[in-house]
Amino acid sequence: MNTIDHICFIGTPEFAVPVLSGLRTTFQNSRLSVITMPDRPKGRGSRMQETPVAALATTHGLPLFKPESNKELSACIIDLSPSLIIVVAYGRIIEKSITDRFFCVNIHSSLLPKYRGASPIHTALLNGDKTTGVTLIKMNERMDEGDIVLKKELIIQNNDNLGTLTDALSNLGATACIEFIQYSFLQNQVVLTKQDHGKATYSKKIQKSDLHIESLENLADVHDKIRAYAPKPGAYVIHHGVRIKLIESTFSDGVFTLVNVQPEGKTIMSYSDFLRGGGKAIV
């Protein structure tokens, strides 16, 4: 096999866009269908807004489907009958009947079995990890437990935060996906490696309460928490009765420096400007 007839891409957020873009430009002679979540109300006025994946598909005239339920999703996939399914941060379970019937690959933003679950990028930063990566797995009915088909590692830079690391992993996922299709799937040389489930760790869904920095005693942990939620949604402290987001900090040789903050109701400012404007020292 040296050509692929039909790829079905299933994804939703901005994180998934580079993968879809890479598939579109690399496999121009293949049919490419896109499935994403339905439009949802967003922002002031609750206007209906399509997903970032839908926006890209619409721009390039790709066949686009927005099933409203798992049942509709399965029916849609069966009707499309693709040669390969690529899933990136879709937001809905792919049923066992589909993962058994089709070759489904999920791109996960950690080095599985480490950090299965909803927030692997946040968790890597919260834990002060020095490396992370992406893992491509052949999906089964259990979340993030499928056999590994490809891993790619990434060094976490000292100045990385949630935004920059998400972008880096998104682009790495696109590179890994294309590499897998070209050099494994199309060559009939897919190697499946079982995960060591005994070494699995999990990342939880982030809650609003997780953003609150309750203690400033361990500044290394504070720095990691700032990075894990920056630039959005932003970790915060309650300081003299005011909610202040801590947007950026540095931590080098045991020295913590607060760089940018955002007092409630105001724009992001440097910490030095915050102090010059009469703000009381946070650390």
- pLDDT 10s digits, 85-136: 999 999 999 999 999 999 999 999 999 999 999 999 999 999 999 999 999 9
Domain ranges of the chain: 6-203, 208-276
pLDDT confidence of residue 44: 73
DSSP 211: G
Measured in whole angstroms, how far is the alpha carbon of residue 87 from the centre of its chain?
12
According to CATH, the topology of domain 6-203 is Rossmann fold (3.40.50)
What's the rounded Cα separation, in Å, for the pair 175 and 172?
5
CA 52 to each of CA 21, 173, 213, 245, 258: distance values in angstroms, whole numbers, following the listed order = 11, 17, 31, 27, 33
What's the rounded Cα separation, in Å, for the pair 144 and 73?
19
CA 283 to each of CA 72, 125, 246: distance values in angstroms, whole numbers, following the listed order = 53, 21, 11
Is-above-0.85 flag for pTM? yes
User: What is the number of residues in the chain?
Assistant: 283
According to CATH, the topology of domain 208-276 is Methionyl-tRNA Fmet Formyltransferase; Chain A, domain 2 (3.10.25)
What's the rounded Cα separation, in Å, for the pair 134 and 150?
8
283 residues of the chain, pLDDT tens digit each: 568 999 999 999 999 999 999 999 999 999 999 999 999 888 777 788 999 999 999 999 999 999 999 999 999 999 999 999 999 999 999 999 999 999 999 999 999 999 999 999 999 999 999 999 999 999 998 999 999 999 999 999 999 999 999 999 999 999 999 999 999 999 999 999 999 999 999 999 999 999 999 999 999 999 999 999 999 999 999 999 999 999 999 999 999 999 999 999 999 999 999 999 999 999 9
Instruction: Tell me phi and psi for residue 174, to 5 degrees.
Output: -65, -45
Angle between helix 52-59 and 17-26 (nearest 10): 20
pLDDT confidence of residue 184: 97
